[in-house]
């Protein structure tokens, strides 16, 4: 077992399933103690925590709605209290709402910005107060920030594009403190919400992707693990794409 993150404490937002769960497991495998937030199923969250604990790390699920600033700030503070500090923040929680311009509701617009943009800022602001030199902040963005190839995804693409500007700006604020901040921008990843066996996936694999398959959540988690470690200490303000050639 790798222990590159031994004695480190991490918080992953939206970590109960999909890419988030893979990140929780990978950070635990690397030796970190990991807290993660979930907003819906406690049963699923406990199952994710149990699976990650096989690596010998402490894993702590925290119920929190990323759209609620107070709830999210509490999750950061609770992580610090329970794990003895905070070295790594992974802003993974996100929502994906599509719809034509003429019928896209303001409620969906506001929810998208609240979870995909404001929550990233809120969690980052709260976490940075506790981080020391060597701190790592990693956002899970999307390759749709660079390319949205179908109609109905404008609001989602906008929300992920906002993260690009945020990390480039905050890299200047946090760099003098020895804290890095980066985006990881996945393309099509095989998850419960976007299965590689769907008709849509078949079209993507055949016509769009340079590597003719969907990515695995574990591949995204591997990039997050790299950015979390000491070898990535000179990487900051970057938007790192892992998309099988979707934007090539």
Active site positions, annotated: 156
- Across the chain, the runs of DSSP E, i.e. the strands, are 9-12, 33-38, 59-63, 88-91, 136-140, 180-186, 189-190, 215-216, 239-242
DSSP per position, 193-233: TB-TTSHHHHHHHHHT-SSSS-EEHHHHHHHHHHHHSGGGT
Q: Give the separation between CA 54 and CA 19, rounded to whole angstroms.
A: 18
Q: Give the separation between CA 248 and CA 208, rounded to whole angstroms.
A: 9
Are residues 238 and 183 in contact, defined by beta-carbon separation less than 8 angstroms? yes
CB neighbourhood size of 218 (10 A):
14
Q: Give the separation between CA 170 and CA 195, rounded to whole angstroms.
A: 34
* Token duo for residue 232: 């990535």
Q: Give the separation between CA 228 and CA 181, rounded to whole angstroms.
A: 10
* Token duo for residue 210: 């340079």
């Amino acid at each position: 077992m790798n222990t590159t993150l031994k004695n480190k404490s991490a918080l992953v937002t939206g970590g109960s399933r999909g890419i988030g769960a893979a990140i929780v497991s990978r950070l635990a495998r690397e030796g970190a103690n990991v807290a993660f937030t979930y907003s819906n199923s406690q049963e699923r969250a406990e199952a994710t925590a149990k699976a990650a604990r096989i690596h010998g790390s402490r894993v702590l699920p925290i119920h929190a709605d990323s759209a609620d600033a107070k709830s999210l700030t509490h999750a950061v503070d609770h992580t610090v209290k329970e794990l003895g500090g905070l070295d790594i923040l992974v802003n993974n929680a996100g929502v994906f709402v599509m719809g034509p311009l003429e019928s896209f509701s303001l409620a969906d617009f506001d929810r998208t910005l609240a979870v995909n943009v404001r929550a990233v800022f809120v969690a980052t602001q709260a976490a940075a107060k506790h981080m020391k030199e060597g701190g790592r902040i990693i956002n899970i963005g999307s390759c749709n920030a660079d390319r949205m190839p179908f109609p109905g995804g404008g609001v989602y693409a906008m929300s992920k594009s906002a993260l690009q500007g945020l990390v480039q700006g905050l890299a200047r604020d946090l760099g003098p403190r020895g804290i890095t901040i980066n985006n990881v921008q996945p393309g099509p990843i095989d998850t419960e919400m976007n299965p590689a066996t769907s008709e849509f996936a078949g079209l993507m694999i055949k016509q769009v992707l340079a590597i003719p398959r969907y990515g695995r959540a574990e591949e995204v988690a591997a990039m997050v693990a790299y950015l979390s470690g000491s070898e990535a200490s000179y990487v900051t303000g970057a938007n790192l794409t892992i998309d099988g050639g979707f934007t090539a």
